[in-house]
Amino acid sequence: MNNGDNISFTTELGMEKRSMRVGVPSGLLYYRYFPLWKSFLEYLGAEVEESGKTTRAILSAGVSKAENESCLPVKVFYGHALALKDRVDAIFVPRLVSLEKKTHTCPKLLGLPDLVRSAAEDMPMVISPTIDFHRSLWFNYRAVYSIGRIFTSNPFRIIWAGIHAWRRHREYQKKLAEGWEPLLAMGKEKGSPLCEGRKLRIGVIGHHYNIYDTFTTMSLLERLKGYGADIITVDMVPDAWKEEEVSRLPKRIYWNYERELVGALLACARRRLVDGIIFIISFACGPDSMIHILCEQEKRRLGNIPMLTLVIDEHTGEAGLITRIEAFVDMLNRKKKREDREKIGELVAV
């Protein structure tokens, strides 16, 4: 309890009071916004509980509840929400509609709160503010304020919670841009950055929930580091470079996060930031399938940099995935050695 303005809950004995326990499923936008959400909720006095890393049990539970046509990230999210069902008083699932004018997020993010509510009959309350930058700044402020009102009647406390959370979010974004994986940037794990000056450099392009979930990607990033490769992710490509690339396209991409992926991939190709690109998409993801074709076409004009596309779902086998990754890395190493020999030959000739 903080200053006596939290919502309180009474235990079965009717004697002890505690703060609201709010669950945050560790899927979809978790890897992008969790420090922001956690800081905001905790500043207001809530107890924040995560569902933890994806496991076989979590995936199986999600697959059993989700529609067959749903993409893998949605099925995983179902599983994480169900894992929190009996452990929390409420589940925090924002409805993210748009991040800027004339754009939208993926349809699955628009309907996510409703999907969670329907996952089971005894689901706890779902806290689902609507964030939509098609609308006015006042509309979004009211959405944030509505969350704060669940926990406190003090408007100044809600404002300071938002300021505190935004600062934490900026710090987190800076660490991601420096090459730290989300769990390392959050301080949950220890390890080394993705880029440490190794000879081979690979761009891993994909949504956060596709590249940072170690279960669904079978620890792809760690495997690449083990093969002696540096990794460049979407977060590590400057925003100005990404925006410059998408502005060159003949038509505007109106999906927020797909714009980001296209900009990062084309920046990696045009500026030769990497020796090769691994593009990760989810099976049954419409927006990703469309931008994959666009990126293939555009990168051919930029020198046709090697690119491996990995399409993942709940049936993806580890052996097949590892074989493809090993073959791709081996090809890049041989290509790089050949280019190095050619450069040496040119210097000798001079």
Convert the chain into a string of H (helix), E (strand) and C (coil): CCCCCCCEEECCCCCCEEECEEEECCCCCHHHHHHHHHHHHHHCCCEEEECCCCCHHHHHHHHHHCCCCCCHHHHHHHHHHHHHCCCCCEEECCEEEECCCCCECCHHHHCHHHHHHCCCCCCCEEECCEEECCCCHHHHHHHHHHHHHHHCCCHHHHHHHHHHHHHHHHHHHHHHHCCCCHHHHCCCCCCCCCCCCCCEEEEEECCHHHHCCCCCCCCHHHHHHHCCEEEECHHHCCHHHHHHHHHCCCCCCCEHHHHHHHHHHHHHHHCCCCCEEEEEEECCCHHHHHHHHHHHHHHHHCCCCCEEEEEECCCCCHHHHHHHHHHHHHHHHHHHHHHHHHHHHHHHHC
Domain range list for the chain: 8-177, 192-349
- Per-residue pLDDT tens, the chain, 350 aa: give them: 344 343 444 333 343 446 889 999 999 999 999 999 999 999 999 999 999 999 999 999 999 888 878 889 999 999 999 999 989 999 999 998 988 888 888 888 888 899 888 888 888 999 999 888 888 888 888 888 999 999 988 989 999 999 999 999 999 999 999 999 999 999 888 888 888 888 899 999 999 999 999 899 888 999 999 999 999 999 999 999 999 999 988 888 888 899 999 999 999 988 999 999 999 998 878 788 888 888 888 877 777 789 999 988 888 777 888 899 999 999 999 988 887 676 666 556 65
* CATH topology classification for 8-177: Rossmann fold (3.40.50)
* CATH topology classification for 192-349: Rossmann fold (3.40.50)
8-177 and 192-349 share one fold: yes
